[in-house]
Amino acid sequence: MKRSRTHPGHESPTTPAHGAGAFAPDALAVGPRHLEVGAEWVASFTVTGYPREVHPGWLQPLLTYPGRVDVSLHIEPVDPVTAANRLKRQLAKLESGRRHTQDHDRLLDPQVEAATEDAYDLSARVARGEGKLYRLGLYLTVHATSREELANEAAAVRALAASLLLDAKPTTYRSLQGWVTCLPMGLDLVTMRRTFDTAALSAAFPFTSPDLPPPDPTSVAAPSGVLYGYNIGSQGLVHWDRFALDNHNSVVLGRSGAGKSYLVKLELLRSLYRGIENYVIDPEDEYARLAHAVGGTYVHLGAEDVRLNPFDLPVHTRPDGRRTAPKDALVRRALFLHTVLAVLLGERLAPTERAVLDQAIAATYQQAGITADTRTWTRPAPLLADLATTLHTSKNQTAADLASRLHPFTRGAFSGLFAGPTTTRPDGHLVVFSLRDLPDELKPIGTLLTLDAIWRRVSNPALRRPRLVTVDEAWLLMQAPAGAQFLFRMAKASRKHWAGLTVATQDTADILGSDLGKAVVANAATQILLRQAPQAVDEITRTFDLSEGERQFLLTADRGQGLLSAGTQRVAFASVASPTEHYLVTTNPAELAAYADNGAAGDAEGPFLDLEVADSPDNNDDAVASSEVDLDAD
């Protein structure tokens, strides 16, 4: 064994103290099959056997090995004349061997037959100028912290190479030369090379990686965005910043039990630490513990005395106390009421019904003292029962029919949600609207009204800050064409108000089965696909243009594993959570029962997280859009 060591203060007279010697290891011990480079143990291998055919990116498994492995390629072009002469001699050897075998009535060697066919094909391509020859040397260097770990890592790397039909041999008694060959110095001291043509060599480039490229490769700052989990292919971390894209929308599709809500709640919780306001439409009361733990606002629709009035005008209160609203607020509210009535009645209104309804809405506002004069917009808004009364008193038969169809929602079994003025105006860094206690017949309209209440705050120009709006189980709203249309308009307009819409659903048929649903997906720059059912995977494959490997991954993915897609960038990841995060976001009944048995309330109590929501540097509370009107002006 050779050993070379230098000590501080005793530099070699031929090595400058602050030149290349500053990067040299303090000690180097050379063994037959390994090196001790400082505190590291390294072993080098040279690839002597290759597969007959290679595919694009065939070196990727070596590049994504979770341990530290240096992969070095040394390429030397062969001039055409030399290549032609070498191919001619090689063909002569192979053909002579074949004929000698046939003359002696021996069985043909399959490997020789395959090599002869490849040599003929390669010679023809070189002669026609369709390719060139190169001498390629492929070397590997494995790093470890101990001799035992080095043996295990070396065995794993050789097994991985064997799975790729690569024969990796250790550089026995040339370990130093193998290590130097893998350094970025352009030196090939091993010179174990193999002839490659242009097609085979190009399949090794570029070196592909499953990790997402950083926004700025030259920056050493910590990655921005939210941690989604770890990369399944490389074991690296997957950070994603939705607000760095051209739009901030996201769609999450997965079968029941795939971890869809778990991932959405993790993203929500981690975005709160970045100062992003969050609004959630929760159909199954899954966000209650999370909302109470972070000091959020929890609105329980369906409870007694909790109401939302669809007739409320979008009047914004400025920081100085003055109230403003867009000039066309009354007209837009009338149009929104058409959507409300269409969702309530469960069908698209006929043109005659829309005309009658439009007149009745205008008359209802006038009876409440609200006219085109902006000074009247601060008066109490009418109720749905007032509209039904206006329709009922009309002598028009169509109006009378509409009033009869509205009876269940004004004085019948479903009137609780509309029986009075709005009781709550949500505010805070996290607002959760729970729809669990609403009847199934009211969940679509409850989703629509909560989206409208959220949109009023998001579109308030006096409060500019990043926001995320989460619609869990969006299929409830997509079942109604008018509701799907409203969600589509919100998806298109969110970017203009520094907001992102998150649509999560387990019923992909309702999303991808309509043009509006596909448009919502197309307007989401971030698309997350979790495990899919076999019945839905074909539609998912066509819509997202998945490869066969990605299709199989979505069919066999474990809970929490998914595919993050953003344009041409795709990465397979698995979501991870800390114990505290897991307690706040899990909905596993067995775990919730265990928490309750251990003294932790399974409903709304738990470890309180003190979140100080930071204001965005671009937030300007005094800024008001030019399209607003002063409601207090004379």
The CATH number for 365's domain is 1.10.8.730
In three state form, how does the secondary structure of 191-232 look?
Answer: CCCEEEEHHHHHCCCCCCCCCCCCCCCCCCCCCCCEEEEEEC
pLDDT band at 33 (very low <50, low <70, confident <90, very high): very high
Whether 408 and 294 share a structural domain: no
Whether 127 and 29 share a structural domain: yes
Name the residue with higher pLDDT: 121 or 6: 121
Is residue 394's pLDDT more than 90?
no
Whether 267 and 190 share a structural domain: no
Domain hosting 486: range is 232-306+425-612
Whether 297 and 444 share a structural domain: yes
pLDDT band at 75 (very low <50, low <70, confident <90, very high): very high
Range of weakest confidence among 184-188, 318-322, 348-352: 318-322
Q: From CA 501, how far away is CA 447, in angstroms rounded?
A: 14
Range of weakest confidence among 263-267, 379-383, 472-476: 472-476
Residue 499 falls inside a structural domain: yes
In the prediction, which pLDDT does 219 show? 57
pLDDT tens-digit readout, 424-450: 777 788 999 888 888 888 888 888 888
In the prediction, which pLDDT does 318 show? 58
Q: Which positions ≥6 away from 10 have C-beta within 8 Å?
A: none
- Domain-terminating residue out of 180, 202, 224: 202
Residue 302 falls inside a structural domain: yes
In the prediction, which pLDDT does 374 show? 81
Whether 70 and 110 share a structural domain: yes
Q: Is the pTM of this model over 0.85?
A: no
Strands (E), 93-217: 133-144, 167-170, 194-197
pLDDT tens-digit readout, 134-182: 889 999 999 999 999 999 999 999 999 999 899 999 999 999 999 999 9
Whether 430 and 417 share a structural domain: no
Is residue 121's pLDDT more than 60?
yes
Residue 216 falls inside a structural domain: no
Which candidate, 43, 44, 41, 38, places its Cα nearest to that of 24?
A: 38
pLDDT tens-digit readout, 223-241: 778 889 888 877 678 888 8
At residue 160, the 3 state secondary structure works out as helix
pLDDT tens-digit readout, 94-109: 778 878 787 777 777 7
In the prediction, which pLDDT does 609 show? 52
Q: From CA 513, how far away is CA 536, in angstroms rounded?
A: 11
Q: Which positions ≥6 away from 453 have C-beta within 8 Å?
A: 308, 422, 425, 426, 433
Residue 628 falls inside a structural domain: no
Residue 273 falls inside a structural domain: yes
Residue 560 falls inside a structural domain: yes
Residue 219 falls inside a structural domain: no
- Domain-terminating residue out of 423, 452, 484: 423
Range of weakest confidence among 110-119, 269-278, 455-464, 549-558: 110-119
Domain count, the chain: 3
Whether 135 and 9 share a structural domain: yes
Whether 457 and 495 share a structural domain: yes
Whether 332 and 450 share a structural domain: no
Whether 436 and 399 share a structural domain: no
In the prediction, which pLDDT does 631 show? 38
The CATH number for 501's domain is 3.40.50.300
Residue 225 falls inside a structural domain: no
In the prediction, which pLDDT does 13 show? 42
Whether 198 and 290 share a structural domain: no
Whether 283 and 344 share a structural domain: no
- Domain-terminating residue out of 423, 446, 475: 423
pLDDT tens-digit readout, 512-562: 777 777 888 888 889 999 999 888 888 888 888 888 888 899 999 999 899
Residue 416 contacts residue 445 (beta carbons within 8 Å): no
Is residue 632's pLDDT more than 50?
no
pLDDT tens-digit readout, 562-620: 999 887 788 889 998 998 899 888 888 888 888 877 764 444 444 445 444 444 434 43
Question: In percent, how much of the chain has pLDDT > 90?
Answer: 18
In the prediction, which pLDDT does 606 show? 44
